[in-house]
Chain A
């Protein structure tokens, strides 16, 4: 299996160099829409609502790119992809952006002919415990029974964490997330472990969501971000700066509601950003009001976060690592100047 994976990886890399010099930005403009690869359903990241519209923090990254390129956030064709075919779909040109909760790792960045453009969600493995257990930190979990979804890196991370901290645990394995949450609810285990963003989604499925809490510890690094083909720097820049524009907008306090009036702000930084002065958009190969369109139509990073996974959504995930750097988080964007 590993050999096959390597072989596929190598083939992908070779093919990637062959098709690398295509001008994606030009192709996208001619097509009139961004082809965006999303997941086949992950709550809060990319999932369809009951009217069939793709919602989620990953889907909104693609909308931001469409807003920058076309001035219309709706010019996106969403393509639902499974985990195995996501990289091929990007390599073969079926999609222009892969925005599918993909963890940024060295192997992927260096060997697949891909470039990660940034991080739109800092995820990490965490623990969900029942409130009755009276546990405040993962360090107190010695001897606990842990529900895990089998065959994931989650299992390995968990083993590492308990070994490093000199604690023992008893694994209870399940195949799907529905079964895992069922096992936790039935009291088969004290703790449920998964990526934190998942834990919040699983928590809603409990009959009494308030009876369980997510512990503060994060035991692995899972930076998730949009991916583009390597070797097309113009397109790489557009996608990268669309994400940065959302983060910068939050920092400058520009929202969907006030984007219009912010245009008359005296702050030269905001003027540059919204395209009132300067030619920032031209440098990227898009119109100068690109960042205004993103802020107006999609919203700033904070708005998108709260709407899709944060307090405005059923998931109710706190900002945590995903807060702005000025609020103690990791979200930091280079300045637009």
Chain B
């Protein structure tokens, strides 16, 4: 009597596993799905292939003048020749190390603050909010022995980042204060906050920038000449803090009333209640809203083109007018789009990471 040996299980039919199985299940499960799949494939094929051919296969990458663009595809030489201008604007070339250093320090602080394993978070946050702004200002603008580089020479990606960062960092605290003020029970404070928020939210950013650059200087005639960048920055901060206030208010209202009452019952003061109970919970809910506002602020910075400040988009438009390089708008705008995408996409991914990390089951 031989021992019972079960036969090995037969492999699943080839139509159910592997690439074929996956394709059958997801792409060709029914006649309509098959039709849609084929159509999509056709559209992708007819758009992507010429695009990739233009952007990579037939493209010119190296050279120094228009004459080097001979193969009929994209002329990336246009970008490489002016890369420094797109990054730093008219910043003097021998001082490029200054914005570079400021940027590296910024990345350092961001890594310190955003990766959980690195210790001394509190120290990092304090340094990032007190020492770093002063350091960055001295590096970029000058002083303390460094040559002063006036802001009209700033430009390119550097200017975009300066505007977006200052806008973000200053708008969040002002926004929180405004949102708390709007929910305050003190009528004067509530009125002031409501009027502020509704005023700045009621006018387009483009109008604010115009007012800051065209009307404001008229009131300074013959005397103080407020810096153009400073004027634009104040406008952007005001505008963004109004939006931020509404995002924060949304987060505050999403908290159940019990949280507020519980804190009151414990005998906490107003500020203790806000900072120990309400805001930590509300902030978690607000992350998608805040990041949404930040991304839109980052992209809105390019509106300063209309007041003659040349951010990365402005520098590219400027470059398109160079008689020696006329006719490469597609390359220029694609490059700008790609740069914006890198920054916006990383912000968006970090926000998702943060949401998951802080998720304590409050999501419904």
When the two chains form their complex, are residues B218 and A48 in contact, meaning their CB atoms are under 8 A apart? no
CA A40 to CA B321, docked complex, whole Å: 9
When the two chains form their complex, are residues B322 and A89 in contact, meaning their CB atoms are under 8 A apart? no
Residues on B with C-beta less than 8 A from A79 are 152, 308
Binding-face segment, B11-19, B103-111, B312-320: B312-320
B325 close to chain A: CB less than 8 A: yes
Nearest chain A residue, comparing its CB with the CB of B320? A41
B217 close to chain A: CB less than 8 A: yes
When the two chains form their complex, are residues A12 and B218 in contact, meaning their CB atoms are under 8 A apart? yes
**Can you name 27 A-B residue pairings with CB atoms under 8 Å?**
A12-B218, A22-B222, A40-B317, A40-B318, A44-B323, A47-B321, A49-B324, A50-B82, A50-B319, A77-B152, A79-B152, A79-B308, A82-B306, A82-B307, A84-B214, A85-B210, A88-B213, A88-B215, A91-B221, A92-B217, A92-B221, A93-B221, A93-B222, A94-B225, A201-B323, A204-B327, A315-B323
Residues on B with C-beta less than 8 A from A15 are 218, 221
**Whole-angstrom distance between the Cβ of A108 and the nearest chain B Cβ:** 16
**Whole-angstrom distance between the Cβ of A114 and the nearest chain B Cβ:** 14
Nearest chain A residue, comparing its CB with the CB of B66? A314
When the two chains form their complex, are residues A204 and B326 in contact, meaning their CB atoms are under 8 A apart? yes
When the two chains form their complex, are residues A204 and B217 in contact, meaning their CB atoms are under 8 A apart? no
B61 close to chain A: CB less than 8 A: no
Query: Which residue among A18, A43, A48, A313 has the maximum number of chain B CB atoms within 10 Å of its CB?
Result: A48
Please report which residues of chain B, range 193-236, place their CB below 8 angstroms from some CB of chain A when the two chains form the complex: 210, 213-215, 217-218, 220-222, 225, 228
Q: With A18-B221, A40-B318 in contact, is A88–B327 under 8 Å at CB?
A: no
A19 close to chain B: CB less than 8 A: yes
When the two chains form their complex, are residues B306 and A205 in contact, meaning their CB atoms are under 8 A apart? no
A80 close to chain B: CB less than 8 A: yes
When the two chains form their complex, are residues B308 and A43 in contact, meaning their CB atoms are under 8 A apart? no
A159 close to chain B: CB less than 8 A: no
Query: Which residue among A11, A47, A92, A94 has the maximum number of chain B CB atoms within 10 Å of its CB?
Result: A92
Nearest chain B residue, comparing its CB with the CB of A38? B308
B81 close to chain A: CB less than 8 A: yes
Nearest chain A residue, comparing its CB with the CB of B222? A19
CA A49 to CA B325, docked complex, whole Å: 9
When the two chains form their complex, are residues A89 and B217 in contact, meaning their CB atoms are under 8 A apart? yes
Nearest chain A residue, comparing its CB with the CB of B327? A205
B90 close to chain A: CB less than 8 A: yes
When the two chains form their complex, are residues A91 and B308 in contact, meaning their CB atoms are under 8 A apart? no
Nearest chain B residue, comparing its CB with the CB of A45? B321
CA A79 to CA B314, docked complex, whole Å: 13
When the two chains form their complex, are residues A18 and B222 in contact, meaning their CB atoms are under 8 A apart? yes
Residues on A with C-beta less than 8 A from B318 are 40-41, 47-48, 80
**Whole-angstrom distance between the Cβ of B354 and the nearest chain A Cβ:** 38
When the two chains form their complex, are residues B327 and A92 in contact, meaning their CB atoms are under 8 A apart? no
Residues on B with C-beta less than 8 A from A166 are none
CA A12 to CA B221, docked complex, whole Å: 10
CA A85 to CA B310, docked complex, whole Å: 14
The 3 closest A-B pairs by CB, nearest first: A41-B321, A92-B217, A205-B327
Q: With A18-B222, A84-B210, A94-B225 in contact, is A50–B217 under 8 Å at CB?
A: no
**Whole-angstrom distance between the Cβ of B333 and the nearest chain A Cβ:** 10
CA A205 to CA B225, docked complex, whole Å: 41
Residues on B with C-beta less than 8 A from A314 are 323-324, 326
Contact count band on A? 35 or more
Query: Which residue among A12, A50, A82, A84 has the maximum number of chain B CB atoms within 10 Å of its CB?
Result: A50
A178 close to chain B: CB less than 8 A: yes
CA A85 to CA B305, docked complex, whole Å: 12
Residues on A with C-beta less than 8 A from B139 are none
Question: Which of A85, A92, A178 lies in contact with B225, CB distance below 8 A?
Answer: A92
B329 close to chain A: CB less than 8 A: yes
Residues on B with C-beta less than 8 A from A336 are none
CA A82 to CA B314, docked complex, whole Å: 11
CA A267 to CA B246, docked complex, whole Å: 76
CA A92 to CA B219, docked complex, whole Å: 8
CA A47 to CA B320, docked complex, whole Å: 9
Question: Which of A41, A80, A92, A313 lies in contact with B220, CB distance below 8 A?
Answer: A92
Contact pattern, A 168-204, Cβ under 8 Å of B = 1, otherwise 0: 0000000000100000000000000000000001001
**Whole-angstrom distance between the Cβ of A49 and the nearest chain B Cβ:** 6
Please report which residues of chain B, range 92-119, place their CB below 8 angstroms from some CB of chain A when the two chains form the complex: none
Residues on A with C-beta less than 8 A from B157 are none
Residues on B with C-beta less than 8 A from A12 are 218
Given A79-B152, A94-B225; 13 other pairs, CB 8 A cutoff: A12-B218, A41-B321, A50-B319, A50-B324, A50-B325, A80-B314, A84-B306, A85-B307, A88-B213, A94-B228, A204-B326, A314-B324, A314-B326
B85 close to chain A: CB less than 8 A: yes
Question: Which of A47, A81, A93, A94 lies in contact with B322, CB distance below 8 A?
Answer: A47
When the two chains form their complex, are residues A313 and B323 in contact, meaning their CB atoms are under 8 A apart? yes
When the two chains form their complex, are residues A82 and B308 in contact, meaning their CB atoms are under 8 A apart? yes
